[in-house]
Structure 1
């Protein structure tokens, strides 16, 4: 089975996904007027505006923290270590590339999710790729296909990856049995998801910044203590990215293909740009200013934070610690633990266990919220269906704590590629709408007025959007 999944991944990631991700990112960078580069200096202002509460949904900041909770998981620790093991230090450069071009893709998918959102029976905004496939493209069948992929991925497979990392980290640091780690994680998850979307969002707006700051602070401390090595590490990343670092003294030389493939795989698993997961959170916000592009810009901050800041923090710890063992000799999260132990002493393993536990808990909790959201689209969101989904989540957490690492990551890569192909196809077909949204927002900003989306200016789009989503906004 692992060999078959490896073969499928070679096909999907060795050609299809690399070109599709690069192409989509570059395309939306051009179609949006290089919006990620134009607004990177204004992220602070966007964050300030994102805390303004509006009726009908979460604040933009809550939606951002909810999406970050799903993004910031074991991929930011174990995934980074595995990327370096498989593709060399140069994989980090390509992770940065996925972030910079992925910000444009995230802008596109999250702006579309905002545009085509609708209210559920409780008056809460809901939406995501399934909705813009159904409303924007008129292809409900495509939305159903995507929802099924997402339910498998976020309701089941991805939870095994998170639980696997936690179980191995706690076994390495404290000799905890894997089943104990799985049981504790499952219990905490059940308590959190029982509070519903708004309860999870309120928790994550405090939980996510604290856990991210803990990890970044640890990385900064390690970097300062080893500051003399920093120039060499940075140089190695850039040299290895293009296969310029030759094998010497028994060290393994990595090719451009190895670095690029490993960086893109792990980078996308981490920041999720283009996968279609984040739009499920973006659609729940009552965006301020009241324009779909405003939430798209806020969600770009999530990609930047996840990969450029948090993944880079993990990379610094791993690379400053020296050469890594071959990935077959140990699991991903243990590579990070060994690295921190080498740098700061025995307490490093326990600290990594704490961080990965926090990251995994937040990811699994929001994974469930995403899956539940798509039950609503499929019109099977009865209490029985939700309880069945919760049983599945618990079962996969327990299974993930006991499964072998290669099988878990191979499964995650396959389902991630299937989700991304479906979502990227949809947003590329809707790229004229993305261009319209971006231009409308930038035009109003250039005029010096707070952007407001006036659906009546675009009759074709007005006929597609849900009643009450944008029609009731004040018009200029």
Structure 2
């Protein structure tokens, strides 16, 4: 596990969403189209709402779903663990400033998603089953005449359906259920894998019937519960807002168990988590929007403007305020340690000592200044007998205890190499440290009048959010399989998807999230390049729509 996570982290630093080039490319394309198309996320927002309401619908329009159903399916692919676990992960690593960069990514992403959805809808096809097939791979093939680029993108969608749609979703669900109920992860995974198979084998029409009911309901429940938490901690709301914008340009100082974060950390993690949350520029949502019943690609494109707004600017901001106002993001909490997120270092440290805290901060940021322990760890009665410290979840762990699977104290000699435990680990390590991902958000919701029931709200919300995301990504991956190999292989993909989904329930969270960062970047790259190449086509499509539509609107202005 250690070796795999270290390898994935290395890969992510070069070609994943944590690499230096990726945030620049993602934001750069968003900035370009925002200026090139004269701020469509503002000018067309009101029109987008009217389109979703069905004001301009035509019954004889070609397609498989309504505008609202397409929006709900696409939202079900974006409103998921990114809103609950992803925000917590971003703040855990980058501090409050990470939320600022998530919001910036969302604002620019409203334009990026508008462009990618419009172009993908414009060049959609009908498959051999008579169903609508669309997405970036079709504009790459039909307009750019680059079938090799289309093939790479489609392959990455399939790969990313596991890295984004299956693994982190069930992993977050299972961990949240375990935190709340103590139910073993594999049991949750098995039950939901069977339910998943039943839904996705029914195709897009069964999927949209589920998602159009799940998305509005789950968003409302989560929204109300989050408001309760924020209102309960009202005295911390204004300081939280200040820290979001102040720390974006100064970095976050070490406070409590949080050992600090640099500006670059906040930037890269905020942009990366923002993309994971709303998927603008990734090219996934256009696959769902391509099925919408309309002959005007622009009409579906403006609907997509609403996604990053709902997903990130509203829901992620609420989650961020819950985490910041409750204060749990900087508190050490009792939890079961994840081995890939843990290092054993030589020497005993105290993070209440300013000088030692600075050394610890340098270690978690740069992996320098403190020596990783190598040797044999002597554990007796569950306690370490050696002069070492454990760094878990980027914090100095306290009250650490080693336990057998039955809960009894462990007595054992444990081999350690460069801070990592060597060999099979058939015991648990528990203690107090920072937390991240869904369990942290679950704890934050308990800091309210809901008390312990707050974690149940998160567990239920995560179950609905993440499961609907899994459904959407099964559709995205399936459409890509059809593009690459034809419809006859679709059943095999769906069955394999369910198996991977089950396995993800008991994988290490840290490894799952790192893998998702890599697959996200590899999928986004060809799509971002492709829509930039079609910038003139996009501008013409907008002008054609207003010429076709007739009527007078404030936003109806020809683009030069």
The reply to whether TM is greater than 0.5 is: yes
- 1:356 corresponding residue in structure 2: 462
Deviations 1:20-43 (A, max 9, x none): 001100111122221011123444
Q: What displacement does 1:429 show?
A: 1.1
Find the partner of 2:444 among 329, 339, 350: 339
| Larger proportion of strand | 2
- 1:242 corresponding residue in structure 2: 249
- 1:313 corresponding residue in structure 2: 318
User: Compared with structure 1, are the counterparts of its residues 6 and 197 closer, same or farther at alpha carbon in structure 2 (3 Å cutoff)?
Assistant: same
Q: What displacement does 1:5 show?
A: 1.4
Q: What displacement does 1:253 show?
A: 3.5
Contact 1:113 / 1:129 at 8 angstroms: preserved in 2? yes
- 2:473 corresponding residue in structure 1: 367
Rounded to whole Å, the distance in 2 between the matches of 1:2 and 1:237 is: 30
Tell me, which stretches of 5 or more residues in structure 1 are unaligned? Answer: 453-476
Q: What displacement does 1:441 show?
A: 3.1
- 2:373 corresponding residue in structure 1: none
Rounded to whole Å, the distance in 2 between the matches of 1:393 and 1:233 is: 40
Matched, 1:18 2:18: no
Find the partner of 2:159 among 147, 152, 158: 152
Matched, 1:88 2:95: yes
- 2:523 corresponding residue in structure 1: 419
Contact 1:445 / 1:451 at 8 angstroms: preserved in 2? no
Deviations 1:259-313 (A, max 9, x none): 11111111101100011101101111122xx421111110111111110111112
Find the partner of 2:301 among 291, 296, 321: 296
- 2:52 corresponding residue in structure 1: 47
- 1:398 corresponding residue in structure 2: 502
Rounded to whole Å, the distance in 2 between the matches of 1:63 and 1:51 is: 15
Contact 2:128 / 2:487 at 8 angstroms: preserved in 1? no
| Larger proportion of helix | 1
Higher-Rg structure is: 2
- 1:440 corresponding residue in structure 2: 544
Deviations 1:445-468 (A, max 9, x none): 68528999xxxxxxxxxxxxxxxx
Rounded to whole Å, the distance in 1 between the matches of 2:185 and 2:19 is: 33
User: Compared with structure 1, are the counterparts of its residues 205 and 250 closer, same or farther at alpha carbon in structure 2 (3 Å cutoff)?
Assistant: closer
Find the partner of 1:196 among 185, 203, 212: 203
Deviations 1:111-141 (A, max 9, x none): 0011101122343322101101100100111
- 2:77 corresponding residue in structure 1: 70
Rounded to whole Å, the distance in 2 between the matches of 1:252 and 1:331 is: 14
Rounded to whole Å, the distance in 1 between the matches of 2:436 and 2:553 is: 52
Contact 1:58 / 1:284 at 8 angstroms: preserved in 2? yes
Q: What is the root-mean-square deviation of aligned Cα atoms in Å?
A: 2.2
- 2:345 corresponding residue in structure 1: none
- 1:408 corresponding residue in structure 2: 512
Q: What secondary structure does 2:237 align onto?
A: helix
Rounded to whole Å, the distance in 1 between the matches of 2:311 and 2:182 is: 30
Deviates more, 1:243-252 or 1:37-46: 243-252
Q: What secondary structure does 1:77 align onto?
A: helix
Rounded to whole Å, the distance in 2 between the matches of 1:255 and 1:168 is: 29
User: Compared with structure 1, are the counterparts of its residues 156 and 393 closer, same or farther at alpha carbon in structure 2 (3 Å cutoff)?
Assistant: farther
Rounded to whole Å, the distance in 2 between the matches of 1:278 and 1:183 is: 27
User: Compared with structure 1, are the counterparts of its residues 447 and 78 closer, same or farther at alpha carbon in structure 2 (3 Å cutoff)?
Assistant: same
Contact 1:81 / 1:332 at 8 angstroms: preserved in 2? yes
Deviations 1:58-107 (A, max 9, x none): 11111110101111111110110000010001111110001100111101
- TM-score, normalisation: structure 1: 0.89
- 1:322 corresponding residue in structure 2: 327
Q: What secondary structure does 1:434 align onto?
A: helix
Matched, 1:381 2:388: no
Q: What displacement does 1:444 show?
A: 5.8
Matched, 1:121 2:128: yes
- 2:6 corresponding residue in structure 1: 3
Contact 1:18 / 1:261 at 8 angstroms: preserved in 2? yes
Tell me, which stretches of 5 or more residues in structure 2 are unaligned? Answer: 333-391, 395-432
